[in-house]
Amino acid sequence: MPDASSIRRRVIVHGRVQGVFFRDSTRRRAESRGVAGWVTNRPDGAVEAVFEGDPDAVESMMRFVREGPGRASVDEVEVFDEQPEGLRGYQVR
């Protein structure tokens, strides 16, 4: 069951975001902020991720994916507000 104050955002990040440690960087940052969810490469070259948790921590993740890790080049971020599912931990899929 999700915490009443939790929020959930699903993002699709477009640009040069595969092969630049985007997923692992996202996982490490999410874990350090106590954010749950997952991140995966999409067949179209984008990265998709879900962030669930404290609103401030989720917003921190949103700022991160708009920039990405050092070798990434983010062109666009699609953002979808969703109902939290009560996820635990953060995984690379």
Residue 41 annotated to the active site: yes
What's the helix, strand, coil split of the chain in %, to 5? Answer: 25, 40, 35
Pick the catalytic residue from 10, 16, 33, 41. 41
The verdict on whether 10 is a catalytic residue reads: no
Active-site entry in 9, 23, 27, 29: 23
Is-contact 7 84, C-beta < 8 A? yes
Which of 78, 73, 18 minimizes the C-alpha distance to 47?
A: 18
Q: Which residues are catalytic?
A: 23, 41
